[in-house]
Structure 1
Amino acid sequence: MYQQSTAQNDRGGAGFMGHNPAQQRLLMAARGWHLFPLRPGDKRPAVANWEQWATTDPAKLLNWPEGAGVGIACGPSNLVVIDLDCHTAEPSKPEHQIWTERGCLDGADVFTWQWHEHTTDGSSWAHTYVVLTPSGGGHLYYRAPAQQIRNSASGRLGWQVDVRAQGGYVVAPGTTLPAGTYTPLWEPATLPVLPEWITATLTAPKAAPQRPARRVLALPSQAGKRVNALAHQVATAAVGQRNDMLNWAVYQLAKDRALTQEHAQVLFDAAKAAGLAEAEAIATIRSAGKELAAS
């Protein structure tokens, strides 16, 4: 979903990563995150009534079951986590097929579209606590708003976009499963509150699904819906997001071995349309492609 790198934060540190597991648990608990053990090598809780068991008590955190992973109970932790899935299966429901028509292949694509449809302040969805999941998806952490968000709100933000909130949990960063490790990508100095438009979407009465409005962008390419959709996201990115969005779009194609010279040119033209300097756009495209090839 996004180019993987060493987790950094606004203060220049790497969060709790690099510490041993016990220290990681203590540092997470210091943030107010309520933790409980997962079965070794599994996402499932290792304890009954995990939400009630979840704790910040150092004595429990230091006396952790051998080999157990870590779960975060979202409700007690005052967290809402947006879960961006990365499944390869085609959508089976008509309300989900509208996203593939727009060139969206996974939850990160869908959430990016949603973000740009609703956000006008120039902020980036990537500027919160971001954790890469072993499947190639991601978790976006937010402080819970005053209005209660329940775990049953999953699916309201679009295809492959789920919500972990009151009554739900996520696998904590630093936990390793057979498929890989949950790895922090970005940590802001202050965790933002869930954006108002997301809160409104998750708490609104359910309505019949509607097709999202199309915004047409003229690009000199017929490279296919996937590339044109990514180019649209780059070309309409707000100031402060343009380079990040270009980096993300290049990575999406590179990881699928679809970053041809023609496709790179389409993204370059889109970056210029967004107002990004030519030299900066060229450097970002080259860097993103090279870093993936080296990984």
Structure 2
Amino acid sequence: MDTANSSAANPLREWALYAAGMGWHVFPLRPGTKIPTGHAEARCPGTGRCADGHQTPEKRATTDTAVIGDAWDRAPFNIGIATGPSGLVVIDCDMPKDGEDGPTGANRLEWLAGECGGPLPDTYTVTTPSGGIHRYYLAPPGSRLPSTKGKVCRLVDTRAWGGYVVGPGSVTEQGAYDLTDDRDPVELPGWLVQAIAESPSPAISAPVQIRSVAPSTYGSVALANECGRVRAAQPEQHNAVLSSAAYTIGRKVGAGLIDHATARADLITAAAHMVTASCDCTDREIARVVDAGLAAGARNPVAHRKDAA
């Protein structure tokens, strides 16, 4: 096959080879989608390449230019980058969902960086068709950080071991994945390493240690996160989500990190969508749940690190 003509007809081939040249392990995604080629593990026949066990996209990913060139000569596949084998941690900052107000994932990550006292250095960056951002960082040497969903903060996921990202140059019906900063990825900041690696507290009553920061900074992020969760609650989860959010914020109100009146007003406003003809929620019931959750949380406040000596 004429390589020059192949490249002109299928620029995705060049993007795949470019990613491999960066040392990143790639695999094909179905043309125009974010879905890996091949079969799902649940439908694995246990034959062929899977004779010794199901070959996940992460296992199939490669930097072999001959293999990549041959694969992309067959079809205009989008590019999947297996982050773990590539030594990457990609921070995936999403946009609010349809009809949802509030900060973007990128906004929340910037605020969290300020709250943690750590930098958010410029790095290799790709924008997604929805307006989201993929920030590529180098994983710490010898680490094996997991992929996470919403663990760092709301609307922020991480792609590391066990995950992948859609690489630059890929195109879906919604648009393209555009490379907007081509500097080499820098090392993942330490505070983000900690946020990704930390295990959740085994008991809700255990004291959560919060860095000593300005209440307005930490409180605004926490309150925005919980209000976003309330806005996204489905009808069958209204009471449970609102009660949980109010309790979580109540713990911070009790610690003096958030003003009670502000917390109450914002939570009630976020829950306004719950009052519909298809749900039993009422304004009075919403206020009752919020007040009860805030009061219960305030009786079990989070602890400041400066106070835990």
Q: TM-score range with shorter-chain normalisation?
A: 0.5 to 0.7
Pair 201,90 (structure 1): closer, same or farther in 2 beyond 3 Å: farther
Q: Distance in 1 between matches of 2:177 and 2:151?
A: 24
Match of 1:35 among 26, 29, 34: 26
Is residue 84 from structure 1 mapped to residue 82 from structure 2 by the alignment? no
CA contact (8 A) 1:85 1:107 kept: yes
Pair 90,21 (structure 1): closer, same or farther in 2 beyond 3 Å: closer
Count, aligned residues: 184
Aligned to 2:195: 201
Match of 2:17 among 22, 26, 33: 26
Aligned to 1:174: 169
Considering Cα pairs closer than 8 Å and 6+ residues apart, tell me whether 1 or 2 has the greater RCO.
Answer: 1
Q: Distance in 2 between matches of 1:37 and 1:216?
A: 45
Q: Distance in 1 between matches of 2:16 and 2:36?
A: 16
SS in 2 for 1:56: coil
CA contact (8 A) 2:83 2:89 kept: yes
Aligned-pair Cα RMSD in Å: 2.6
Pair 210,85 (structure 1): closer, same or farther in 2 beyond 3 Å: farther
How far 1:89 sits from its partner (Å)?
A: 4.8
Q: Distance in 1 between matches of 2:209 and 2:29?
A: 38
CA contact (8 A) 1:37 1:47 kept: no
TM-score normalised according to structure 1 size: 0.57
Per-residue deviation, residues 206-230 of structure 1 (Å, max 9, x unmatched) = 135899965549xxxxxxx9xxxxx
Is residue 72 from structure 1 mapped to residue 81 from structure 2 by the alignment? yes
Aligned to 2:133: 138
CA contact (8 A) 2:33 2:171 kept: no
SS in 2 for 1:82: strand
Q: Distance in 2 between matches of 1:214 and 1:87?
A: 26
CA contact (8 A) 1:74 1:165 kept: yes
SS in 1 for 2:150: coil
CA contact (8 A) 1:47 1:53 kept: no
Match of 2:68 among 61, 74, 86: 61
Q: Distance in 1 between matches of 2:197 and 2:182?
A: 27
SS in 2 for 1:156: strand
Structure 1, unmatched stretches of 5+, are 1-18, 92-99, 218-224, 226-295
Q: Distance in 2 between matches of 1:204 and 1:88?
A: 27
- One-letter code aligned to 2:176: T
Match of 1:185 among 176, 180, 183: 180
| Correspondence 1:1-295 to 2 at 5 A | 20-48=11-39, 49-63=56-70, 64=72, 65-89=74-98, 104-120=102-118, 123-125=119-121, 127-145=122-140, 146-151=142-147, 153-188=148-183, 190-207=184-201, 208=204, 214-216=214-216
Sequence identity (%): 36
Give the greater-gyration-radius structure (CA): 2
Pair 61,170 (structure 1): closer, same or farther in 2 beyond 3 Å: same
Which one has the bigger helix percentage?
2
Pair 90,157 (structure 1): closer, same or farther in 2 beyond 3 Å: farther
TM-score normalised according to structure 2 size: 0.54
- One-letter code aligned to 2:104: D
